[in-house]
Structure 1
Amino acid sequence: MAKLTTQIGGYTAIIEVNPPAVARLSWQNGDGKTLKAAPKLEGDNNQQAYQDIKKKFASIKQTLRVQTSRIESFFIEGFITSIDEWHKYYINHKLINSISANLIWSFEVGDKAYSAIVKDNTLLMADGSTLDNLPSNTLVSLWHPLQASASECEAWRNYVWRHAIIQPFRQAFREVYVARTDGHNPLNIDGLYVRQHQFRALLLSRGWSYQLRGSYDSDSTPMLKLKEGLSCEIGIAGTSSTYSDLGISLAVELEQITFMQQGKILSPCELAPIVFSEVMRDIDLFTSVAGLGYREDWEQIEATFRDVRESELIAKMAKSKEQVSLICNGLILDEHPFKAQIAKFLCALDISMAKLPIPETVKVRSQLLSLMLRGSKVFDKSRIEGRYVHIDTNEGGCIINLASGLVFNAKDNRLMPISAKRKVIANEAGSDTLLARIYSLVFMLASG
């Protein structure tokens, strides 16, 4: 744990950083009692010191975000370091330790390899035994599920779950994608329409480049540049006829995924398995979150999409972030002017997106939800099948889509605008906000 204390006007400001890369600012009075809020400080010097603390806290949080992204990029970069360097820069460094402490690391000694996690300055393997006396020539890298056997992956998932370890990014439960020997891509995105603004925001958040397309000339292509001249591109087949006020297309149609190196097109099997898996993981995220449906369904979807866009604009004009959120989650208000159209759109979207292979994200979410429900009072009233969780209720049952969180009536597939108070999840599943919502819905519906 990293801790910084500063005395200001009879109060103590405390900045603490704990795994998994969580920074917290608290205040104590002269008696050492923790305050519920920041104190009111008088005097120019105290006010300046207070502003300095706020800036320092913001800087620490930003540094943690940047360093977390940097360490996660080790997967795709193939980062390897010596054990001495690893101790110096990742374990003994107070700030970086809050990121690296809850991660699983691989240790190579000659032709032998081990995986372990740090706990109380001790290396523990998945079976609970210690990893001691590693020589100075040991090489350290970030552990990835593709490097391990199925039994080792399962052991680490059980360990992380059993000890309620929250990792700074998904690792033990990380989604993996394996290149097919027939040369085809495991993700079927050809002909898939996506919300362009949301798609671009997701691209940029993962280090890809892309400029919005619109009614003006634009041929920008989503691209991720990797080391040694390797790059990945997502083809854009065209744009929708629905535009924003600035002439930007609200949706674009995707084509094939292409890997290139120095002008040569590579097949997925020619890539390093982890590189391929990590790129596919990004694209799965983009399409599962921003997806609007396939080409053959687009005519029907686009008609209702315009109504949804209109409803979003109405909500934004009214400065109602809550209403925009409700629309996105299918929680349509009874008095909403486009209630029928939005329900129709969401149902059509659900049917079209179900044509995608079950995303790895949904498979992992399914496994985590199964672990969460095991032994609970609603376990016997729920079952997970594919991309849906089925719940027995007094009204005949309902279905929750694990990809979108939408709830449907089991009898007639009618959209059910239902909300539930989100349960606090203090384990590996807690970083998945949609899973937290689904978990809360399962409990509410099965207990009703």
Structure 2
Amino acid sequence: MGNGSDELCPDGYRLSPENPLRDEHHAINAYLSQLATKPPHEWRYNYPVESEMGRVLLSKPPDVKVKFVVALLDRMNYLDSVNEATAYYSTDYQLSMLKAILGSKLPFSEQYLLQMLDGMILQKRQFYAVFLVQKAMVRQIECFLKENKASHELRVRLHDYISVHLDSWEIADARKLAKKIRIMLGDLQEFTIEPGEAWTDLMLADLKAMESTQKTAWQSLIEHAFTIKSCEPSGKWMAEAGKRRSGVGDAAFSPMVLRWFSSVESTKSDTMSEGNADLLKGLIWYCSSIDQADVASVIGNVALALFKKIPGLGPRSAKAGNACIHVLSRLPGLAPVAQLSRLQLKTKYSKVHVLINTALEVAARRAGMTRADLEEIAVPTFGLEGRGVLREDLGEYVAEIRVTPTAGTEFLWLGENGKKQKSVPAAVRENFSEEIASLKRVTRDIENMLSVQRDRIECLFLAQRSWLYPLWRERYLDHPLLGQFTRRLIWHFEAGGKSGLAIMTEDGLQDAEGRSVCWESDNTRVRLWHPVGFDVSTVRQWRVYLEEKQISQPFKQAHRELYIVTDAELATRNYSNRFAAHILRQHQFNALCRQRGWKYQLQGAFDSFNTPIRELPEWDLRAEFWVESVPADDQMSETGIYLYLSTDQVRFVNLHGEPLPLSEIPALAFTEIMRDVDLFVGVCSIGNDPVWRDQGDARIGTNYWQRYSFGDLSAHAETRKEVMTRLLPRFTIADRCHVDGRFFVVRGDLRTYKIHLGSGNILMEPNDQYLCIVTDRSTGRVGAEKVFLPFEGDQMLSIILSKAFLLARDARITDKTILRQIKT
């Protein structure tokens, strides 16, 4: 690595006597020596001015600074080659000096440019401080190429640099820098529609098919769309956009652009190029003044597609997605509000949620009402009428979209004789292709909105919303989309000092005994019923009513788990350990937190402390669920995120962050928060994983897996047990099954099986041998027949039933993996 005549520098660099930049290296030595008493602990930009020698170097003539750039890069690469791990932390001084020197225009010759590129190509590190230096370096190259033509050697070197550093670095700024260099070299036009994404492929095909005048107008519009740079365009940009849109014609603009937007969801690639993202962002802003019913829906779908998380990379395009939110906040009418509410529940990023919250608050103030009222009146009908039916005449047939009783959708075709068919009639397919595509899009939008609205209505438990009867009827019962939920839920009515519970049926309101009741008064106040505080007999009556009438609720209401403060929690006073000492899958936990309205960020090697919180503004409270990462180098994702968490306390704090006694927490707030935490454990625990015993990490939780898989039942599992006990006589396999403590026991022809009602894991009699069956996670089934359940959303219950039906007929099982275990 050197010889005896080499000079050893303060940072370990060996300076040979023949080095042509000896003077520059000696100056760098002096700079480093003066900073030796300040060991670097993080990247800082001001190192060069913290020493007298650093200031001297920065005052050198520009042509001398060029030599310092080459010397610094040579020095850093040498240190990397000797000890990469040490060099990672020991070259902050050199990096900060490089950035400072490259901050002003320098008179680089091609020879020194090539040496600088060689030095940068050899850099092994990919972190942002190095990237900032690279950006400054590219600015120097740009200045050179404005006055000089790139030689073949320089072109080759720049392409090598792009290949080694920028193409392999999956960050947006690296892609921008690569594009900038290619434009500088003339390899790429500044405004280029890049093929390979479904929407740009469609755009290019449409442009190719246009006649000359029309194509020129569209190209002018597209060129301007590329030029948007800020998150919100200037008035000047918008004025120019208006002119170019007029050149295309409003009648032609909307259907064409919305057609392109509709293809963003079906892209062929995960990532979106920077240029295409800029173009899409500009086109989205072109739509900000269009008062057209379907614009908001299409832009909402585009936003969801753009905020889709790509593993290891983040959202497909945050900047184009943010543009969707800004534009939705500007569009007139209530349809954009519904899309913002939908995005709030469906997107995964905290920064996006802040943006959406701001947009919704602004819209509510503009409308002069609360945000909750605004979100309720903004729920779209999609043209549905009555009990959720949309009909459209297409030639001799009628297309019918119907919201089903369980809040799904059904798309049918009716002939002249009223006969129904599910396949598209040939005559319709030939003559109404665009209408068919539009109806299919409406069907998808209805299904998406039904999912969002179900979650929103469940949040009404904690929101404590109530309405006068006429308003409730208008916003919920008679709403063609929400009515299917409303008629399957139990409501609390109050008027004239009296109160009661009822559900809407074909014969009007009924109580739990099936008697007609009358609450239809303008003065009646209505709210969603929660069973907390009601006697056991009332709750049981409603459960029986639902089961007898075969009413499946959209979420657990009558069967909702209740959590009361225990003696142990009164003893600990300010916190609960009820759900401590569990091991959860972190990514699944993070997703469920978002779904349930909790704030949480993934923990990794860079940030291993983060407490999930749920704001409770109705009570000026905040709930906290303490979790800790389970650190292990071989148990983290490729992006450095830990795979597992361990659970600890649940606390409630006031607005000042002070913990409160659990005995003072309102019963409704306590039970709903504890239910969420129980759900987190029940869904995300490694104890639910049937293959963990054989494939999991023994260091993390083998003993825990055994305890959880076959241990005591949680409140969720107790509800499951009660439901299965009551529904069991209706099963076709009832004579082969019974409930025994923690287990649902199934007698097959080959063996008897015990399915744990909490984890769904299986033991086989007579020796409690473990049986591993992996279900299809997308359906929760391994072959079960369809059975009635009094509520939706309990995937574990579906999994247990599917296993039970499979094992009751174990003699028919053909899966060799399962059979081998049974017969062992």
State the TM-score, normalizing by the size of structure 1: 0.82
Partner of residue 639, structure 2: 246
Structure 1 residues without counterparts, runs of 5 or longer: 294-327, 333-337
Q: Give, in whole Å, the separation in 2 of the partners of 1:170 and 1:12.
A: 37
Two-structure CA RMSD over aligned residues (Å): 2.9
Partner of residue 307, structure 1: none
Q: Give, in whole Å, the separation in 1 of the partners of 2:520 and 2:412.
A: 39
1:357-396 matches, within 5 Å, as 358-374=713-729, 378-379=733-734, 381-393=736-748
Tell me how many residue pairs correspond in the alignment: 407
> Of the candidates 788, 796, 800, which is equivalent to residue 434 of structure 1?
796
Is 1:424 equivalent to 2:814 in the alignment? no
Q: 1:289 to 1:251 in 2, by over 3 A?
A: same
1:215-294 matches, within 5 Å, as 215-228=605-618, 229-241=620-632, 242-263=635-656, 264-292=658-686
**For the Cα contact (< 8 Å) 1:22–1:98, is it kept in 2?**
no
Deviation at residue 380 of structure 1 after TM alignment? 5.4
**For the Cα contact (< 8 Å) 1:390–1:399, is it kept in 2?**
yes
Q: 1:79 to 1:32 in 2, by over 3 A?
A: same
Q: Percent identity?
A: 29
Q: Give, in whole Å, the separation in 1 of the partners of 2:665 and 2:787.
A: 37
Partner secondary structure for residue 151 of structure 1: helix
Q: Residue type of the partner of 1:168?
A: P
Deviation string 1:112-158 (CA, Å, 9 cap, x unpaired) is 32101000151100011111255432221111111321111010000
Deviation at residue 402 of structure 1 after TM alignment? 1.2
Q: Give, in whole Å, the separation in 2 of the partners of 1:110 and 1:2.
A: 33
Partner secondary structure for residue 280 of structure 1: helix
> Of the candidates 517, 520, 526, which is equivalent to residue 131 of structure 1?
517
Deviation at residue 28 of structure 1 after TM alignment? 3.3
Structure 2 residues without counterparts, runs of 5 or longer: 1-386, 776-781, 811-824
Partner secondary structure for residue 281 of structure 1: helix
Deviation at residue 438 of structure 1 after TM alignment? 2.0
Q: Give, in whole Å, the separation in 1 of the partners of 2:766 and 2:701.
A: 17
Q: 1:113 to 1:42 in 2, by over 3 A?
A: closer
Partner secondary structure for residue 532 of structure 2: helix
**For the Cα contact (< 8 Å) 1:209–1:223, is it kept in 2?**
yes
Structure number with the higher helix fraction is 2
Q: Residue type of the partner of 1:232?
A: A
Deviation at residue 163 of structure 1 after TM alignment? 0.5
Q: Give, in whole Å, the separation in 1 of the partners of 2:693 and 2:712.
A: 30
**For the Cα contact (< 8 Å) 1:424–1:436, is it kept in 2?**
no
Q: Give, in whole Å, the separation in 1 of the partners of 2:737 and 2:764.
A: 14
Is 1:403 equivalent to 2:765 in the alignment? no
Moved more, 225-234 or 179-188: 179-188
Deviation at residue 187 of structure 1 after TM alignment? 6.0
Deviation at residue 271 of structure 1 after TM alignment? 1.8
Q: Residue type of the partner of 1:366?
A: K
Partner of residue 168, structure 1: 554
Deviation string 1:17-40 (CA, Å, 9 cap, x unpaired) is 133322222233455433333446
Is 1:113 equivalent to 2:499 in the alignment? yes
Q: Residue type of the partner of 1:217?
A: D
> Of the candidates 595, 598, 603, which is equivalent to residue 213 of structure 1?
603
Q: Residue type of the partner of 2:650?
A: I
Q: Give, in whole Å, the separation in 1 of the partners of 2:624 and 2:711.
A: 20
Moved more, 30-39 or 211-220: 30-39
Deviation string 1:393-422 (CA, Å, 9 cap, x unpaired) is 555632111122121123333221347521
Q: Give, in whole Å, the separation in 2 of the partners of 1:378 and 1:121.
A: 35
Q: 1:62 to 1:422 in 2, by over 3 A?
A: same
Q: Give, in whole Å, the separation in 2 of the partners of 1:24 and 1:359.
A: 37
Deviation string 1:157-216 (CA, Å, 9 cap, x unpaired) is 000000000111111111111122542566622232211011111111111121111111
Partner of residue 203, structure 1: 593
Q: Residue type of the partner of 2:543?
A: R
Is 1:15 equivalent to 2:401 in the alignment? yes
**For the Cα contact (< 8 Å) 2:713–2:757, is it kept in 1?**
no
Deviation at residue 280 of structure 1 after TM alignment? 1.1
Q: 1:290 to 1:440 in 2, by over 3 A?
A: closer
**For the Cα contact (< 8 Å) 1:392–1:446, is it kept in 2?**
yes
Moved more, 118-127 or 382-391: 382-391
Deviation string 1:247-305 (CA, Å, 9 cap, x unpaired) is 11001122211211212212222222111111111111111111136xxxxxxxxxxxx
Q: Give, in whole Å, the separation in 1 of the partners of 2:593 and 2:743.
A: 27
The structure with higher relative contact order (CA 8 Å, sep 6+) is: 1
**For the Cα contact (< 8 Å) 1:382–1:391, is it kept in 2?**
yes
Point out the structure with max Rg over C-alpha. Answer: 2
